[in-house]
Structure 1
Amino acid sequence: MSKILLVEDSQTQALQMKMLLESAAHEVTCCEDGTEAVQHLAEGTNELVITDLELPVMNGLDLIKRMQADFPDVPAVLVTGHGSERLAAEALQVGATGYVPKSMLDDMLLGTVEDVLGIVRSDRSYAELIDCTVENRLVFELPNKPELLTTAIDLTMQMAAGMQLLSGVERYRVGNALRHAASNAIYRGNLELTRDQWQQTNSDEEPSGSEPSIVQERMNSLPYRERKVFFDARLMRDLIRIVIRDQGNGFDCSQLAIANSTMLDDTHGRGLVLIHNFMDKVSFNESGNEITLVKRCQVA
């Protein structure tokens, strides 16, 4: 059970989210404004804040800025309505760990909450030893198995935590960016799925007895099944640099580099927006099959 502070001035939507969260055994405290939320945060009992952007007195954007200054280890998840994409993008830039469109609360809220809490509570049993590390490098050559890439990313974030390079909130943000980049490498890169094929694969459940999905077909056929994902993470005292490369045909880099707030409600454009907002520098090679992500760190 986790203690969650829910900041929402609409009683109807607050009740909807509260019931969802309580169905997953979370303890939820509700308030209607950012100033009231700050008072609750000062008590030091909340593990996560879920906030609407449009609030009276102190809106969600100002609340997140205040949290970054006074409560940097408490992550914040945005709930955004249609038309608030610009503010949402700004909130991601100043410290929010993620966002959920109000139109997708039932589908995304609990999963987003569990993702954030899982990163924030990651195991620190080797923290003292890792804290003595000056530089660390993790290099993997991985098959098209999303679970292996997720494990590699989790290990990277564990090392970043032990070296005290990132706060709990920043570890979630960087880990989230890496998961989106890794997913792109497998599905869009090595398996060469089109945007529509990938979206359909993520949104549709295969009926019992149906034909194998295009993902399963390509996972088991040449040349796709023999392709690898190369993951190279270098952790130093002042920055983290991760390179993810696939063996697909690549993409038009001029299109890959475009990410703006109008893409927030798009399932896969959303990933590119998060990558650009959560990392300090993002670049692609000329072929478009390699992404380099850089996060600058404050020296302890």
Structure 2
Amino acid sequence: MGNAGSYRIGHPTPPIIVFMTGTPHILIVDDSPTQLYQMQIVLEQDGFVVRTAENAEAALVAIAAEMPLLVVTDLEMPGMSGLELVETLHYSQPGLPLVLTTSEGSEDVAAEALRRGASSYVPKRIISTTLCPVIRQVLSVNQAAQSVREVAQYAVECTLKLKLSNDETLVPSVIARLELPVVELGLFDDGERMQVAMALDEALVNAIVHGNLEVSSELRQIDDGQPYVDMIAHRKTIEPYKDRKLHVYLHATSDQVTFTIRDEGNGFSCADLRDPTNPENLERAGGRGLLLIHAFMDEVRHNDEGNEITMIKRKKTDEEKAAEAAAADD
């Protein structure tokens, strides 16, 4: 894939991007004035400062003038598409988080955008209840990722084992600790590290909530998710759930990193899992986490008991990077 100067045939040359800082804000990109207004209201009611752009080209101009905290973009827009915007920003500013808004019928493109640099997604049909939590999740993970900039000069290999309680508030700090060896070994660029962090966030929270506490994601669909929140709080106070631990193992080399996360719950049947490679699961709350994990990791597997997930991310070779750049320039 190319840099910010690489543009698809048929689109005008984009502006030269000179990133500047300014008021911390979220930039929303959508060609529908109604959708823009809806998302702006939702975010402003949650305390965010919002800027808007009616298309991808306008978004690039806005970003050049004032760097946002995060970009929320529609996928299907006239001119430069949301997927092309994701590609452009992923290579020109890989540390900038990108969240997609997806509509029914755009599942294939959304899954591709996740693989090419987007951080997460929100189905448009549940924007009012899901957009703000997803943005806060992405910003929290990104902040943790940015805190491990200082790297060791001569790291060759690293193994790390953690034993954790069922406290979701510790997850960003745990991710920052797990990312430190990745930074030290120079495995990934900022965009890839952000995706690794998002996959870890999903896996860790799933292991706590669905594994150790055995709380069903279906409760999220009831009364704006309040029963889900209440059940999590209750399970943390009673046996056998409250004393269960989370076991996290990392092994990193100069070529790849392997994360293994195991809970002490009763597990589940892997046959019951929704197919994470099926883009239709973008629209299903229960399948969202696994789809993100499979999109961001190179290899994912579960143990027979269903209480352990292993995720592998490999460093791209020079040949793979060159092939991606060539494909983006076509």
Partner SS state of residue 141, structure 1: strand
The amino acid that maps onto 1:238 is D
In structure 2, relative to structure 1, the CA distance for the partners of 1:150 and 1:71 (3 Å cut) is: closer
Q: Which moved more, 1:133-142 or 1:271-280?
A: 133-142
- Identify the residue that residue 94 of structure 2 maps to in structure 1: 72
Question: What is the distance in 1 between the residues matched to 2:280 and 2:154?
Answer: 43
Q: What are the Cα deviations for residues 74-115 of structure 1, in whole angstroms up to 9, with x where unaligned? A: 221111223322221221121111112223323232333333
- Structure 1 position 43, deviation (Å): 5.1
- Identify the residue that residue 271 of structure 1 maps to in structure 2: 289
Question: What is the distance in 1 between the residues matched to 2:47 and 2:237?
Answer: 40
Q: What are the Cα deviations for residues 150-206 of structure 1, in whole angstroms up to 9, with x where unaligned? A: 432232134434554333333332222222212222232223344535765981259
Could you list the runs of 5+ residues in structure 1 that have no partner in the other structure? 207-211
- Identify the residue that residue 203 of structure 1 maps to in structure 2: 225
Choose the corresponding residue for 1:256, options 273, 292, 297. 273
In structure 2, relative to structure 1, the CA distance for the partners of 1:114 and 1:184 (3 Å cut) is: closer
Partner SS state of residue 242, structure 2: helix
Does residue 293 (structure 1) correspond to residue 293 (structure 2)? The answer is: no
Normalised to the residue count of structure 1, the TM-score between the two structures is 0.83
Question: What is the distance in 1 between the residues matched to 2:196 and 2:148?
Answer: 20
Q: What are the Cα deviations for residues 223-276 of structure 1, in whole angstroms up to 9, with x where unaligned? A: 333322111122332222110011223222234372121111222211111111
Partner SS state of residue 204, structure 1: helix
Does residue 246 (structure 1) correspond to residue 231 (structure 2)? The answer is: no
CA contact (8 A) 2:144 2:172 kept: no
CA contact (8 A) 1:144 1:225 kept: yes
Choose the corresponding residue for 1:37, options 59, 69, 75. 59
Question: What is the distance in 2 between the residues matched to 1:204 and 1:218?
Answer: 14
Q: Which moved more, 1:178-187 or 1:265-274?
A: 178-187
Does residue 99 (structure 1) correspond to residue 121 (structure 2)? The answer is: yes
Choose the corresponding residue for 1:62, options 63, 84, 105. 84
Question: What is the distance in 2 between the residues matched to 1:29 and 1:217?
Answer: 39
- Identify the residue that residue 253 of structure 2 maps to in structure 1: 236
The amino acid that maps onto 2:299 is K
- Structure 1 position 214, deviation (Å): 4.3
In structure 2, relative to structure 1, the CA distance for the partners of 1:290 and 1:204 (3 Å cut) is: same
Partner SS state of residue 224, structure 1: coil
Question: What is the distance in 2 between the residues matched to 1:22 and 1:198?
Answer: 23
Choose the corresponding residue for 1:280, options 298, 306, 319. 298
Question: What is the distance in 1 between the residues matched to 2:147 and 2:283?
Answer: 38
Question: What is the distance in 2 between the residues matched to 1:86 and 1:172?
Answer: 22
Choose the corresponding residue for 2:202, options 160, 174, 180. 180
CA RMSD of aligned residues (A): 3.1
- Structure 1 position 222, deviation (Å): 3.4
Could you list the runs of 5+ residues in structure 2 that have no partner in the other structure? 1-22, 319-330
Partner SS state of residue 275, structure 2: coil
CA contact (8 A) 2:111 2:279 kept: yes
Q: Equivalent pairs: percent with the same residue?
A: 37
Question: What is the distance in 1 between the residues matched to 2:71 and 2:287?
Answer: 25
Q: Which moved more, 1:92-101 or 1:197-206?
A: 197-206
The amino acid that maps onto 1:264 is L
Question: What is the distance in 1 between the residues matched to 2:40 and 2:216?
Answer: 37
Normalised to the residue count of structure 2, the TM-score between the two structures is 0.76
Moved over 6 A (4+): none
Question: What is the distance in 2 between the residues matched to 1:196 and 1:126?
Answer: 35
Aligned length: 295
Question: What is the distance in 1 between the residues matched to 2:214 and 2:78?
Answer: 46
